[in-house]
Chain A
Amino acid sequence: SQKIEQNSEALNIQEGKTATLTCNYTNYSPAYLQWYRQDPGRGPVFLLLIRENEKEKRKERLKVTFDTTLKQSLFHITASQPADSATYLCALLYSSASKIIFGSGTRLSIRP
């Protein structure tokens, strides 16, 4: 079965720095890879989607890369702010509008 590994420990960085989160998966590559943000006690919120034939996608301070050879996605938040503190989930979809396979998430803390 598919396994997804995200940074196993929480990530603590200084405000203003770039946060980089890692998502590694096994087996075959998904058609779509997504990143979600989740705050305590709330449902996940969609951030970005990247397709298997895309290398990079950007949205404001967010950047996602997708390397199907390495079976890895990197998620970057530039100019990080304390409000970016949350758990970030990597998610795989193997077909359109299908079920999502989530990683366990990485807890990110941005200190002022």
Chain B
Amino acid sequence: DTGVSQDPRHKITKRGQNVTFRCDPISEHNRLYWYRQTLGQGPEFLTYFQNEAQLEKSRLLSDRFSAERPKGSFSTLEIQRTEQGDSAMYLCASSLGPGSGANSYNEQFFGPGTRLTVL
């Protein structure tokens, strides 16, 4: 399977703990996105990367959240001092970027998500 993968699929943690999620995009995709989704809502944008450069961060991404994509391949999303309000599904997506020579760079491919429960 060469789709987007995320690890872990489920994470249960206690309030105040730090958690880290990993996303492996489709190998030829240079754009990588993080979204958060709560029950009954659509995904909300958190941040995205072009290769290793973080191009945009949402105001939702408080200083407890940090994302990295050190080598322009996989990405990690860390949440420090978790709060119960952080409980959600964290989705990663990847796409080709403009200038890739393809017409389908607006299609984002999503992973299965990491479901976080903060007790």
Interface residues of A (CB under 8 A from B): 4, 32, 34, 41-46, 49, 89, 91, 93, 96-105
Contact = CB atoms under 8 A, between A and B. Distances in A.
A99 B98 CA distance: 13
Given A43-B113, A89-B42, A104-B40, A99 B106 contact: no
B107 A46 contact: yes
Contacts of B35: 100, 102
B43 interface: yes
B72 interface: no
Interface centre among A89, A96, A97, A99 (most CB of B within 10 A): A97
Interface string B97-114: 110000001111111110
Given A45-B110, A97-B95, A104-B40, 20 more contacts: A34-B106, A41-B113, A43-B93, A43-B110, A43-B113, A44-B110, A49-B106, A49-B107, A89-B42, A93-B106, A96-B98, A96-B105, A97-B96, A99-B33, A99-B56, A99-B58, A100-B33, A102-B43, A103-B42, A104-B41
Q: What bracket does the count of chain B residues touching chain A fall in?
A: 20 to 34
Contact of B44 (A34, A43, A49, A102): A102
Nearest to B100: A97
B106 A97 contact: yes
A44 B43 contact: yes
Interface in B44-76: 44-45, 48, 56, 58
Nearest to B50: A97
Contacts of B107: 34, 46, 49
A49 B106 CA distance: 8
B91 interface: yes
Contacts of A105: 41-42
Given A43-B93, A96-B98, A97-B97, A102 B42 contact: yes
